[in-house]
Structure 1
Amino acid sequence: MQLHGNSCYGCGVTRRFAPTALMLGNLVTGCSVLAPAGMLPELASGLDVSIHAAGLLITFGAIVLCIGSPLTAWLTSRVERRILLTTTLAALALGNLASAFAPDYTTLLGIRLAMLAVGALYTPQAAGTAALIVPAERRGSTIAYIFLGWSLAAAAGLPLITLIASHYGWRAAYGEIGALGCISCLFLLMRLPGGLKGAPVDLKTWAEVGRSRIILLLLAITMLQMSGQFVVFTYMGPLLNKLTGAGPNAIGLVFALYGVCGFLGLVIATRIVDTAGPYRTSVLFTCLLLAGMTGWALGAGTLVLMAGAVAIWGLGFASTNSMQQVRLVAAAPPLASATVALNTSVLYIGQAVGSAVGGMLFAREQLHMLGFVAVGFVVLAVILVIVTQPRPPAAAKA
């Protein structure tokens, strides 16, 4: 990617706060994508559908996101970034506000799909924009910092969504996300420098991506990591209720534990990635992810064990994805606009696959099986992480 005119390096205060503005936009995006998981019982009751049907809001939304991410990256690659990102956040804000007034399930689903078709832009373009506003040596830590927004969505957003939905209804929860989206949009408009453009994405770029073995393997890792997590995550609230009898407050606390640990994990990853390197950092947090998923599978039925497993799982969930972004940018910097968009796309494919598999098992009351299926996906991800270990310089020359 390239910066036209290098204007951002003289932007002073505006540039210093730009990564924070981008991070808060990811918070809104994360809340918009994950919101149904925090209020499945309220959605099911309020819309007169099953919990499985309510969970399909996540599955269908992920399908739209996985298609929309690379498509919109291609269609909008020449658009100035501040205009592009603030417009996307405005669409997310309006979509959530409209969702608060949806009269039935079909209307809510339609609003969600339209909102996420536009929202698919934000996360990959925010990561790509980070590469335009910081020096190369700070790129990894800045991308990881911007992904703190997703951690905050889980750490603070989901517990608040669960709390608001259980006390004031799901419509109030959507209204709160919409209000947050409006604030974030204005903050980004004020802080992100103008005139930022990345390298255009064309068909030649996609062809180069398809010929790269390492990029394809990294994308497969992302899909497997997310598939494993969303087998369980989509239905985590109802699973805790059915397996342990946990109520809304206890479920909200587990979501908070998941998110807080995710936040801590990403802070640690942000601090060590520039010295330990993205590969070793990725191995560490993918193994934590596997340990947490295994703990959930083996401890299913006991709230304390499941909560402890969620804490370990949380340490890995956001860090693994941010490391995938960093590794993709490092693998082929000129292709970063395309690879970051594709990584986000396969992330959403993983969400769609995982939530669909989890939904089928949940509908068949195979509640304990969800954890073991999730572990299987993550084991495959660990194997591929090891396969993609960079070769030492001496070996590469030989």
Structure 2
Amino acid sequence: MERSPAARRFAPTALMLGNIVTGCSVLAPAGMLPELATGLDVSIHAAGLLITFGAITLCIGSPLTAWLTSRIERRTLLTTTLAVLAVGNLASAFVPDYASLLAIRLVMLAVGALYTPQAAGTAALIVPVERRGSTIAYIFLGWSLAAAVGLPLITFVASRYGWRAAYGEIGALACISFLLLLLRLPSGLKGAPVDIKTWTEVGRSKTILLLLAITMLQMSGQFVVFTFMGPLFNKLTGAGPDAIGMVFAIYGVCGFLGVAIATRVVDTSGPYRTSLLFTCLLLAGITGWALGAGTFALMAGAVAVWGLGFASTNSMQQVRLVAAAPSLASATVALNTSVLYIGQAVGSAIGGLLFARELLHTLGFVAVGFVVLALLLVLLTRPRSAAAVMA
């Protein structure tokens, strides 16, 4: 059944809300590592592996599921994905041990890997070409809100009512998002099928490969620190759960502002210039963290600057990939999400090893190194002509 024009206008917001659920599902352990470690009788490093192994599952699942499901109608695909996230999070609230929680998380995220790239691809089907960049950036506000609102709430709920209640909170949100998508997303939407030829064309494009490398380096650098941000604040400054929740809120609110600004300027300044600006902000923030580690005010201020760049850089990567090869968008957006999760896995694994060895200050400088490499690659992908800068 075709939706009314009003419903169609609300569809990007419904897609964005689904990204909030996806973001909360992926990031949740970072907001409650101490509670998970205590409740499941494991170390903080082991609790952090929920993010590492989850990211590995996501990076494999994103291109694989894009290929396997490319012929499925989008509303059916996206609502089913949210239903699995709802069931997975609600089931996580009742697990008896760490192994069960990890198993449920891997299954849940193997399906959840579908959502973000397919939501971005669906956006391209429901808005005019001239609004595609800003709409994709808007949909990625969901990840910013997951950090701005979701993570602080997860930290608040987990510190007072336990980690099981936090998972129940995410599951309830997933149920609401499922209903909104079912009611508001138009039916009959199908993207271009993804086949072996598509992947071959992607692999032959130097520009696409460089853009994918940028995504991986940006995310690796961030997740060296982000995975253990709460425990790092506690160990380096003595901050408690409320102060840590406030920092997560600052991070997310600034991320929201960053994407909102990027959404407004990308259609006029172009994805390259917008990407360069926010990558520089990302580097400035993480450098501030590395240099200010040990002082709460300096670290919190650095997180604010970092937050301006964290989600906007990724949304610009999506826009640049779509602009570089519109006919390959279904594959490149899925692959970008995959390498994003590779970055999360690499960063969280390196961060975990350093954290376990109490090399707490070193984490920040390792993160800086990754983002410096990402910035260099951004500069390498500068369009050759003035007109191309806007592409």
SS in structure 1 at match of 2:383? coil
Aligned: 1:361 with 2:354:
yes
Equivalent of 1:312 in 298, 305, 315: 305
Q: 1:11 Cα shift?
A: 3.8
Structure 1: stretches of 5+ with no match in the other structure: 1-6
Q: Which residue of 2 aligns with 1:250?
A: 243
Equivalent of 1:387 in 375, 380, 383: 380
CA deviation string 1:298-337 (max 9, x = no partner): 0000000000000000000000000000000000000000
Counterpart of 2:51, as a letter, is I
CA distance in 1, matches of 2:68, 2:164: 33
Q: Which residue of 2 aligns with 1:31?
A: 24
SS in structure 1 at match of 2:72? coil
TM-aligned CA distance change 1:17 to 1:293, over 3 Å: same
Q: Which residue of 1 aligns with 2:270?
A: 277
Q: Which residue of 2 aligns with 1:4?
A: none
Aligned: 1:130 with 2:123:
yes
Equivalent of 2:187 in 191, 194, 203: 194
| Map 1:138-177 → 2, pairs under 5 A | 138-177=131-170
TM-score normalised per structure 1: 0.97
Q: 1:395 Cα shift?
A: 9.9
Runs of 4+ with >2 A deviation: 393-396
Q: 1:394 Cα shift?
A: 8.5
TM-score normalised per structure 2: 0.98
Aligned: 1:115 with 2:115:
no
CA deviation string 1:329-377 (max 9, x = no partner): 0000000000000000000000000000000000000000000000000
Identity of aligned residues (%): 85
CA distance in 1, matches of 2:305, 2:159: 26
- C-alpha RMSD over aligned residues: 1.2
CA deviation string 1:186-225 (max 9, x = no partner): 0000000000000000000000000000000000000000
CA distance in 2, matches of 1:290, 1:198: 35
Q: 1:393 Cα shift?
A: 6.0
Counterpart of 2:29, as a letter, is P
CA distance in 1, matches of 2:308, 2:147: 12
CA deviation string 1:258-308 (max 9, x = no partner): 000000000000000000000000000000000000000000000000000
Counterpart of 1:389, as a letter, is R
Q: 1:132 Cα shift?
A: 0.1
CA distance in 2, matches of 1:269, 1:155: 17
Aligned: 1:224 with 2:217:
yes
CA distance in 1, matches of 2:5, 2:307: 35
SS in structure 1 at match of 2:360? coil
Q: Which residue of 1 aligns with 2:283?
A: 290
Aligned: 1:261 with 2:267:
no
Pairs aligned (count): 389
Equivalent of 1:183 in 162, 176, 194: 176
Q: Which residue of 2 aligns with 1:45?
A: 38
SS in structure 2 at match of 1:196? coil
CA distance in 1, matches of 2:4, 2:333: 25
SS in structure 1 at match of 2:188? coil
Q: Which residue of 1 aligns with 2:87?
A: 94
